[in-house]
Amino acid sequence: GSPDYRYSFVTLYRGKALYNVLSTATIAMVFFCTGEAKVGRRRRRQYSVELGKNLLYTRSTNRG
């Protein structure tokens, strides 16, 4: 029936969202680990700001 389909769709969506969060977190960790050695503190703050913007953007696009 349709309830089963809707449930599977919700779990798929949640899994996709979780995957996006995990991949973004991994990229963020790599950025911070490499940036710690190479980049100054001001530049690193800019990275985190850009990362936050990307998170908000992907979250808003995934909703639609």
Task: Please report, for residues 11, 19, 38, 40, 64, the alpha-carbon distance to residue 26 in angstroms, rounded to integers and kept in the order given.
Answer: 22, 10, 18, 21, 25
Residue 64: what pLDDT? 47
> Which tokens sit at 41?
């503190």
Q: What is the pLDDT of residue 41?
A: 65
pLDDT at 62: 65
Which pLDDT tens digit goes with each residue over 1-55?
Answer: 566 777 777 888 888 888 888 888 898 888 887 776 666 666 767 878 888 888 8
Largest CA distance in the chain: 56
Give the pLDDT score at 56: 82
Distances (CA, A) of 22 to 1, 2, 19, 38: 32, 30, 5, 24
pLDDT at 63: 58
List the structure tokens of 38.
Answer: 């190479």
Q: What pTM does this model have?
A: 0.37
Q: Where are the domains of the chain?
A: 2-63
